[in-house]
Structure 1
């Protein structure tokens, strides 16, 4: 198989590039926000809304602008502090274009699945196919595509939910046409870490909970979902008050929380509270 060229890469993503160009050039939308909008749309394509971006090509710029505003509302819904999810669904134009039901509540309930998927698409697809457009928008136009990108700063990153936006230091001429890092769109969770899939569990003082009980309650509700369970430190005179649980799939965290910050479970008269684990490296 012949080495890939940047022209072939751009041809493969020609529709995605056209829509991104219209967002940041013709509509003069914020580049960082537009990257996240495109990542969200491409993530949706990778799950159950195929050809969504392709359907935009025939729309007017003003219509694309309205649909992009709905995408921004979806991104805001991924913030736990954002509680505005109207009964109407809040995404009328997106629903019409998709020809499938979708609402802001979908993003509330799939919060961590969406964050992980969008972050993956952002850094593994968007970072490779929009770089020359970003160079132009950010004041560094280039008529040639360098074999190795220099670091590019996009105002708005690091993002509080999606982290950094990194242009890969990669020579595209060395990639095979079958390299999944370039072509594949259907595996948006390959970049998940155990931290992404970890929950923090707390227990009521005076009501000791065993590891067997924790395993029972989650496996009975969500199947074989536990990868690692670490019960907190205790001794003969002190009960364990917390645990960390790594699940097998990021989707399980959204199933457990169902759009809430904390989920509460009861077993044998004992309460277990579960929330997403957040690493605090600076403590």
Structure 2
């Protein structure tokens, strides 16, 4: 397998680099926010909106600025506290450019799938292709080109705005691009970018009503009957002989299943044999 050079990497992502350059240099938008906007757009391209970024090249800076503002609204929609989702969809310019219907409600309903996808793109793609541009913006380095190559070793860089409450850390490590595999799908983003999904990302926390004991078999039955073979691991909470189990953790096979279960809500409620089960996304203690 041939190693990939920084020239090849920058050439492949030339359009992405040009649009990012315009966001942070010409439009002077915040680097952290611009990284998230680009990660969102790259993720959208990877699912069902191909060449979305490519269509921006011929647009004016003011138009790109307006479309970026709509992307920021999408990012805000991923926060459960954000409830401003207009019936009109809220993304008129994005819809026109994509030539497909898309609305803010889509981002609420696919919240955890999108957060996971953005995190993966952010650290596997953006951290590799925008480094020199970020150096210029944050450190005043010589102005970068959107297509030419730069030294393959970069110092670790801290971008103000990270760690982010939803998307976590963004770190550019010292990296030798000559050691990267040209066939690494994370570089070319030709598949769904979920390679970094962990069991923690796919874990739900289930609670049960006191006085109405729920068995593991009942939990498995209700979720598999509704969502198919979706359970990877199910751990019922600890309870002795005289105490019922009041909670459980459930790892699902795919991050998309969590969004199917929650459907844009913080908590989903199920009923089986007169018993209630509440499900929400599991968050580790101390999680930002």
**2:148 aligned partner:** 143
Alpha carbons 1:132, 1:141 under 8 Å: kept: no
Matches within 5 A, 1:64-103: 64-103=64-103
SS at match of 1:271: strand
SS at match of 2:76: helix
SS at match of 2:204: strand
Which moves more between the two structures, 178-187 or 226-235?
178-187
Unaligned runs of 5+ in 2: 139-144
Matches within 5 A, 1:41-80: 41-80=41-80
- Once superposed, which parts of structure 1, at least 4 consecutive aligned residues long, lie more than 6 Å away? 140-144
Unaligned runs of 5+ in 1: none
**2:30 aligned partner:** 30
Alpha carbons 1:127, 1:167 under 8 Å: kept: yes
Alpha carbons 1:132, 1:142 under 8 Å: kept: no
Q: Provide the aligned C-alpha RMSD in A.
A: 2.1
Shift in CA distance, 142/156, structure 1 to aligned 2, threshold 3 Å: farther
Alpha carbons 1:95, 1:101 under 8 Å: kept: yes
How far apart in 2 are the matches of 1:94 and 1:181?
Answer: 25
SS at match of 1:238: coil
Shift in CA distance, 282/177, structure 1 to aligned 2, threshold 3 Å: closer
How far apart in 2 are the matches of 1:176 and 1:188?
Answer: 17
Alpha carbons 1:135, 1:142 under 8 Å: kept: no
Deviations 1:82-106 (A, max 9, x none): 0000000000000000000100000
Deviations 1:147-192 (A, max 9, x none): 3321101000000000000214321112232233322342211100
**Deviation for aligned residue 1:144:** 7.2
How far apart in 2 are the matches of 1:86 and 1:142?
Answer: 39
Shift in CA distance, 142/279, structure 1 to aligned 2, threshold 3 Å: same
How far apart in 1 are the matches of 2:268 and 2:285?
Answer: 21
Deviations 1:190-237 (A, max 9, x none): 100000000000000000000000000000000000000000000110
Deviations 1:17-64 (A, max 9, x none): 000000000000000000000000000001111110001011110000
**1:206 aligned partner:** 211
**Deviation for aligned residue 1:117:** 0.1
Instruction: Give the TM-score normalised by the residue count of structure 2.
Output: 0.94
Alpha carbons 1:136, 1:142 under 8 Å: kept: no
How far apart in 2 are the matches of 1:279 and 1:265?
Answer: 23
Which moves more between the two structures, 80-89 or 4-13?
4-13
Aligned residues: 282
Alpha carbons 1:128, 1:168 under 8 Å: kept: no
Instruction: Give the TM-score normalised by the residue count of structure 1.
Output: 0.96
